[in-house]
Amino acid sequence: MAPSAAPGPRDCARALWLLGLTAPVTREEVTAAWRARVSRTHPDLHASSAAKSDAAAVLTRALNDARATLNRWIEDRRDWPDVRPRATTVRFDEADPEPWPERAPSAEPAVVDRRTGLRAGDRVRLWPYDGDVEQVQGTELDGPEGPTWVLFADRAAVRSERVRLAAYSCPVCGVCAGPAVDDPAVRPCPDCLVDLRRLDDRPAEAPRIRRAIEARAEAGVSIARELDDGRLIDRATERRRWARRLRDAGPEDLHAALLAAFGRAWERWGAPVG
């Protein structure tokens, strides 16, 4: 968002999320978090390649906006958005909680369950995955070892292993799921969510992640063809082409391209609906 427009609570929550911060925060904390994240992706580090530099610039811009939003929030002495601890539902594993914050706002965009990649509002199908599409209301982790329960408005909770995302298409890898609907959700798939975290922690895994994305795109193309949905076919085909193009990219180019793709997916998914 433009720093000149007054940010809303959702912008503030998103900025906190992007910088891995939990409100309340000070200007110094914002600067420190921003610096730590930008130092990994700053376009100046990638001046040797235009494509790489562009990719890094996308992320840097998002981080700069987040910093501007939070500084303005602090300057205006506004109340921080309602942020509740959701540690029981967002923990993926205790050992390394970063870069995703342990707390997230209850306002939309809803908290993503790190184990399942699900959040409230997601459309899913339940085992054996051929019934009607249902909407997730939330998730609940039953003790540190799980299981994770997926909650619904009008039925009993279901174990997460028996829940599968439905009617969506992943903007990173192009994998998708039926049934074909008018408005499939465009959201990162659970595997891409996991890969994003790994990439941030372990850049050396970029080649493995690229291969996994290519394989998911391949699967996406056949699922989309089966569903006979032109938009899903186009996206999966485009993502497969993109992943293949990156086969020969150098390690830094690859890392930057993947980060940028994940970053754009998040940007889009986290944006207000409608």
Cβ proximity to Zn ion, 56 vs 189, nearer residue? 189
What residues line the site for Zn ion (CB under 5 A)? 170, 172-173, 189, 192
Smallest separation, CB 189 to Zn ion (Å) = 3
On whether the CB atoms of residues 145 and 131 are closer than 8 A, the answer is no
Closest Cα partner for 135 from 122, 150, 154, 118? 122
Cβ proximity to Zn ion, 152 vs 269, nearer residue? 269
Smallest separation, CB 18 to Zn ion (Å) = 20
Smallest separation, CB 216 to Zn ion (Å) = 6
Cβ proximity to Zn ion, 67 vs 114, nearer residue? 114
In eight-state DSSP terms, residue 43 is G
State which amino acid sits at residue 136.
V
Smallest separation, CB 242 to Zn ion (Å) = 12
Query: Are β-strands 185-186 and 168-169 bridged in parallel, bridged antiparallel, or unpaired?
Result: parallel
Report the alpha-carbon distance of residue 193 to residue 114 in Å, rounded. 8
Q: How many other CB atoms are there within 10 angstroms of residue 251's CB atom?
A: 11
Cβ proximity to Zn ion, 46 vs 239, nearer residue? 239
Smallest separation, CB 192 to Zn ion (Å) = 3
Smallest separation, CB 39 to Zn ion (Å) = 27
Cβ proximity to Zn ion, 53 vs 169, nearer residue? 169
Cβ proximity to Zn ion, 69 vs 160, nearer residue? 160
Report the alpha-carbon distance of residue 124 to residue 136 in Å, rounded. 7
Closest Cα partner for 76 from 14, 22, 3? 3
For the chain, give percent helix, strand, coil, nearest 5: 50, 10, 35
Closest Cα partner for 60 from 205, 263, 249, 202? 263
